[in-house]
Each structure stands twice: as structure tokens, then as C-alpha cells.
């Protein structure tokens, strides 16, 4: 294997490895310090709900209730079996978030050298967005870590094929297979990352490697990864046929795509003025790609992560909505790697720019540490318990809102939870829900149907537009969530319950 500045990591000096260890330990300390800082939010409560199911029920409910494969929930389920629960469910994401630090170092070092590697490690370790990702008991930190691992393994094999004409180590090829399969099993939108990795491999092969054996080995690795994921394919096809989710999800625009990308790489948690600071930092990424010593690989990484990957996500969202502000988080670490390369190559000016961005990161971390926790879900549930009458049906969209209610101590009868059972995440309101309500005993006696959703004004407007003027509306608002009370008869607003108030 090539052993120049991008060569074997055995050439890393003891001071360099010691400094990397200090940065990684600092990253771990930052993430562990935030472990107990805030209660579980909406998405984390959904994770908690799935993790508490039996293993068989977990897999079955994942197929029914949300589009993501069950692998992450299985991991959290194993934590529960080990005696960990609550906020301790964040431990896998904290460890994954910490792992992105040495992975970023390894990629930047292979692309440009020692200085770029250490600067990349420091930027990823202190990034407020990366920290927030690691402190959420969701899959995104694991996706980021596995993505960096896959990129690193690809660069290792490409470097070997370019310099020696061989296809590289079989162990590394096995790692590529496992990393690609893991991405497909972690999140339903990760096919975007796998396609981006394939385009990165194609660009490297077409412009640098030109080795047919490498191309064959890569295609074989991706075929094996797809085969490993294939048991989940029937679920994906069944969910794809249920297009009623379009009742709540519109096709994205290019403006949505730009917003999502800038929300990720634009450092939204920083305490500096926006958007001028974002634009300045953004310019360093292409500059770093052009200045990198392994320019072809750096430019390919720039193209696939900041252009081609988001474009694939946008195109896919025209068919299935996957642009939600979090599915693009995987591009943050590659972006910071390219920025670090620019800082390393610009001498004193680059070091000054690094110091400014590092100070911005630290200010953002302080802002996060002093921010009030979001506890809107339990507050909404408390308000609903005062308003919902016994027998009023409640529809949860998505069904994770039912997990929020249960987590806040409101365990309503299953017959009232219309978001449960057959009416899962992919069954959209209002068509089937209203039909079920009108034909049920509750629909003949109850005056209200409750719809509990995330606080998305666009969803609210779409729901009300589909209902038409025959329905009265009343709202219970909390910043992050809302409950929409729908009435077919009688004026909206406060009313006396015909029986006792619901106190499940």
C-alpha cells in the first residue's frame, strides 16, 4: 500500500496520536456531560416505546408503524435487557458520536496529512450539531459514524488499487460490505448514502484507478450488502404502495433542499449572526477540496456529499418524503473534514480561521448547555387530560405521539387510540380515520375526535383544508406539539363532558 503522506497510519507519531486521544476523550466527556441534561424528546420517546417491546413484537411493529428498519431499536432493546433505560438509551449514540472523531482524523489525514487530520478531529469533536446528534437516542449518530467508516475503507482500497494495481485487502472489502449493509438497515433514507458511496467509488475508479478488478470487487461488495438487506425489501415495497402518506407530506422544493443542507452544514447552533458566517465557512469546503494533496479523492468527496447526495435525496423525496432536516446530517463530518483541509493548507490565515470556527463551536456548546429543555409533549398531554371526555377517540399522527402520552403517564384504553393497530404510521388522516370513527360506538356517542400531531403548521393547514367547513376546530397548542379537536356538531370550545372526564 502507498506509504506517502496519505499512507500507512503506522507513520503517525506518538505526539500526534496522543493529541488525537486527548481530542477524542474531550469529545466523549462533552457528550457524557449532556447525557442527563434534558428529558427524552418526542423522537427519543418513540425509541423508548419500541425498545420496550418484545423482540418479536419490535420487529413486527417496526414493519407496521414506521418506515425505518428495526436494527437500531433492537440495539436499544438489548440495552434494556442489560438493565439500562431512560436517558441511558443515549449511550450508543454518544459512543457513535465519539467514534466520528478518530474517523474524521483518519480520512482527513489520508486526504492531506497530519495537520488536516488533527484539525478535522477538533472540529468534529466540538461541533454543536454533532454533539446534538450524539445526545439524541436516535439513529443519526450511528449513521454518521458508519458513513465515515465506509468512506475511509473505500479510500484505503482506492489508494491501494491506484498505487499497486491490486484490489486491496479482503478484510477491508468485508468491512465495506458490512458498513454498506449496516447503513441500509439503520434508516430508510440511507439508500441515499449508499448510492453516494457508489458514485464516489465510480468517480475514483474512472479518474484515478482504472482497474477492472477493483470495479468488480466493488460491485460484488455492494451486491452482498444488498443481499444482506433483502429480507426487509418486502416491507419497503408494501409501504411504498401505501401512498396515502401524501395526505400529510408534500413534494419538496429546491428551497427545502437548500434549507436542509444549510441547516446541517451551516452550523445552526452557533451563537454568531446568520447567514453571513455560514456562507464564509461554506466557502472553505471547496477550497479544501482543491488544495488537498489527494485532490481527486477530495473533489469526489465534495461532489458526492455536498451536491450529488442531497440531489439524490431531493429526487427520492418527489416519490417518498425523506427530507426532514435530519436525514442530511451525514454530510456534516465530510464537510468539516474538507474545511479542516483548507485550514491546514492556508498557513497562518487558516490557523486563525480555525480558531474563529473553534470559538464559534465552543460558544454554541455553551448555548446548548444553558438552553431550557423542551418538555412540551408532557405539557400537551396534561392539557388534553383536562379536556378529553371519556369515549372521545384520539388519533395520533405519527403513532409516536401515543408513546409521548404513555411516557407522560396517560395510558388510554386501546379502543380510543385510533392511531394504534391497523391504523399505523402510513395510514393517513382523515379518510380512513373518519370512516372508522363514524362506524364505531365512540363515533355515535362522542362529540369530538382528537388529532394529536407534531407542531407543524403545514400539517395543520393541510388537515383543515381536507376537512372542509363542515367541521369545527379547536386547538390546544404547545410549542412543539398540538392537539386538534374536531367536532361535527355543537360549537367549538370548552364543553362539559356527558360523563366523567377521561382519566385513563
pLDDT, tens digit, 9 for 90 and up, residues 391-409: 666 666 555 666 777 776 7
Give Cβ neighbours of residue 156 (< 8 Å, ≥ 6 apart). 1, 110, 168, 169, 172
CA atoms of 474 and 93, how far apart (whole Å):
39
Return the higher-pLDDT residue of 121 and 279.
121
Beta bridge partners of 484: 451, 475
CA atoms of 206 and 201, how far apart (whole Å):
9
Give Cβ neighbours of residue 370 (< 8 Å, ≥ 6 apart). none
Taking Cα atoms as reference points, which of 240, 238, 26 lies closest to residue 125?
Answer: 26
Query: Would the pLDDT of 435 be above 50?
Result: yes
- Report the pLDDT averaged over residues 483-489: 54
Same domain, 198 and 110: yes
Same domain, 359 and 384: no
Query: Would the pLDDT of 140 be above 80?
Result: yes
Same domain, 160 and 139: yes
Query: Would the pLDDT of 176 be above 70?
Result: yes
Same domain, 35 and 108: yes
Return the higher-pLDDT residue of 355 and 318.
355
**What is the distance between the terminal CA atoms of the chain, rounded to a whole angstrom?**
66
| pLDDT of res. 4 | 41
Same domain, 366 and 386: no
Q: Is there a domain that residue 413 lies in?
A: yes
Strand 481-487 to 472-477 pairing: antiparallel
For the whole model, what pTM was predicted?
0.84
Query: Would the pLDDT of 249 be above 80?
Result: no
Last residue of a domain, one of 370, 403, 429: 370
Taking Cα atoms as reference points, which of 408, 400, 403 lies closest to residue 381?
Answer: 408
* Pair 338, 295: CB distance under 8 Å: no
Q: Is there a domain that residue 411 lies in?
A: yes
Based on the structure, what is the number of domains in the chain? Answer: 2
Last residue of a domain, one of 339, 370, 401: 370
Per the prediction, the chain carries an average pLDDT of 77
Taking Cα atoms as reference points, which of 120, 132, 147, 398 lies closest to residue 263?
Answer: 132
CA atoms of 399 and 395, how far apart (whole Å):
8
Same domain, 335 and 448: no
Angle between helices 276-291 and 332-345 (to 10 degrees): 70
CA atoms of 117 and 155, how far apart (whole Å):
15
Same domain, 170 and 188: yes
Same domain, 363 and 383: no
Angle between helices 212-229 and 170-186 (to 10 degrees): 40
Taking Cα atoms as reference points, which of 411, 387, 393 lies closest to residue 478?
Answer: 387
Same domain, 72 and 152: yes
- DSSP string for residues in 185-233: HH-GGGHHHHHHHHHHHHHHIIIII--HHHHHHHHHHHHHHHHHHGGGH
* Pair 332, 264: CB distance under 8 Å: yes
| pLDDT of res. 85 | 72
Return the higher-pLDDT residue of 258 and 472.
258
Task: Give the domain range for residue 162.
Answer: 13-232+254-370
CA atoms of 312 and 198, how far apart (whole Å):
12
Beta bridge partners of 482: 453, 477
- State the pLDDT confidence band at 198, using cuts at 50, 70 and 90: very high
Same domain, 296 and 440: no
Q: Is there a domain that residue 249 lies in?
A: no
| pLDDT of res. 328 | 80
- Is the sign of the CA dihedral 143, 146, 148, 150 positive or negative? negative
Largest distance between two CA atoms of the chain: 81
Most confident segment among 87-101, 244-258, 259-273, 376-390: 87-101
CA atoms of 389 and 403, how far apart (whole Å):
20
Cα angle 326, 327, 330 (rounded to 5 degrees) comes to: 100
Same domain, 138 and 160: yes
Q: Is there a domain that residue 244 lies in?
A: no
Q: Is there a domain that residue 504 lies in?
A: no
CA atoms of 241 and 59, how far apart (whole Å):
20
Same domain, 416 and 329: no
Return the higher-pLDDT residue of 363 and 470.
363
Taking Cα atoms as reference points, which of 133, 94, 119, 87 lies closest to residue 19?
Answer: 119
Amino acid at each position: 500500500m502507498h506509504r506517502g503522506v496519505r499512507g500507512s497510519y503506522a507513520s503517525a507519531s506518538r505526539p500526534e496520536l496522543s493529541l488525537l486521544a486527548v481530542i477524542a476523550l474531550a469529545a466523549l466527556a462533552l457528550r457524557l456531560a449532556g447525557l442527563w441534561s434534558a428529558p427524552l424528546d418526542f423522537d427519543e420517546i418513540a425509541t423508548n416505546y419500541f425498545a420496550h417491546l418484545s423482540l418479536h413484537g419490535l420487529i413486527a411493529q417496526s414493519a407496521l408503524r414506521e418506515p425505518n428498519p428495526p436494527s437500531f431499536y433492537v440495539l436499544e432493546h438489548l440495552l434494556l435487557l442489560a438493565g439500562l433505560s431512560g436517558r441511558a438509551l443515549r449511550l450508543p449514540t454518544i459512543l457513535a458520536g465519539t467514534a466520528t472523531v478518530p474517523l474524521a482524523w483518519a480520512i482527513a489525514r489520508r486526504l492531506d496529512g497530519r495537520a488536516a487530520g488533527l484539525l478535522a478531529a477538533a472540529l468534529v469533536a466540538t461541533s454543536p450539531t454533532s454533539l446534538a446528534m450524539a445526545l439524541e437516542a436516535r439513529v443519526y449518530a450511528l449513521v454518521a459514524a458508519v458513513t465515515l467508516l465506509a468512506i475511509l475503507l473505500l479510500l484505503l482500497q482506492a489508494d491501494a488499487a491506484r498505487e499497486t494495481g491490486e484490489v486491496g485487502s479482503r478484510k477491508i472489502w468485508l468491512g465495506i460490505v458490512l458498513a454498506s449493509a449496516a447503513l441500509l438497515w439503520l434508516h430508510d433514507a440511507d439508500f441515499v448514502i449508499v448510492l453516494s458511496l457508489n458514485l464516489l467509488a465510480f468517480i475514483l475508479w474512472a479518474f484515478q484507478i482504472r482497474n477492472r478488478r477493483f470495479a468488480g470487487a466493488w460491485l460484488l461488495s455492494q451486491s452482498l450488502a444488498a443481499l444482506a438487506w433483502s429480507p426487509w425489501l418486502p416491507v419497503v415495497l408494501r409501504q411504498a404502495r401505501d401512498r396515502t402518506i401524501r395526505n400529510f407530506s408534500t413534494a419538496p422544493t429546491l428551497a427545502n433542499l437548500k434549507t436542509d443542507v444549510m441547516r446541517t452544514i451551516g452550523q445552526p447552533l452557533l451563537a454568531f449572526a446568520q447567514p453571513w458566517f455560514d456562507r464564509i465557512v461554506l466557502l472553505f469546503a471547496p477550497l479544501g477540496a482543491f488544495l488537498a494533496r489527494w485532490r481527486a479523492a477530495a473533489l469526489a468527496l465534495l461532489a458526492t456529499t455536498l451536491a450529488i447526495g442531497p440531489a439524490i435525496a431531493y429526487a427520492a423525496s418527489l416519490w417518498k418524503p425523506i427530507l426532514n432536516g435530519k436525514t442530511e446530517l451525514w454530510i456534516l463530518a465530510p464537510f468539516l473534514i474538507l474545511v479542516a483541509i483548507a485550514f491546514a493548507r492556508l498557513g497562518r490565515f487558516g490557523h486563525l480561521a480555525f480558531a474563529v470556527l473553534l470559538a464559534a463551536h465552543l460558544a454554541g456548546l455553551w448555548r446548548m448547555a444553558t438552553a431550557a429543555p423542551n418538555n412540551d409533549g408532557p405539557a400537551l398531554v396534561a392539557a388534553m387530560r383536562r379536556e378529553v371526555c371519556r369515549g372521545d377517540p384520539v388519533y395520533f399522527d405519527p403513532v409516536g405521539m401515543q408513546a409521548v402520552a404513555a411516557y407522560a403517564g396517560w395510558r388510554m384504553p386501546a379502543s380510543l387510540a385510533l392511531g394504534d393497530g391497523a391504523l399505523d404510521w402510513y395510514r393517513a388522516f382523515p379518510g380512513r380515520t373518519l370512516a372508522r370513527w363514524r362506524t364505531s360506538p365512540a363515533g355515535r356517542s362522542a362529540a369530538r375526535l382528537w388529532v394529536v400531531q407534531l407542531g407543524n403548521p403545514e400539517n395543520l393547514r393541510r388537515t383543515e383544508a381536507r376537512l372542509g367547513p363542515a367541521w369545527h376546530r379547536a386547538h390546544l397548542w404547545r410549542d412543539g406539539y398540538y392537539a386538534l379537536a374536531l367536532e361535527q356538531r355543537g360549537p367549538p370550545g370548552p364543553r362539559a363532558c356527558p360523563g366523567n372526564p377521561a382519566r385513563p
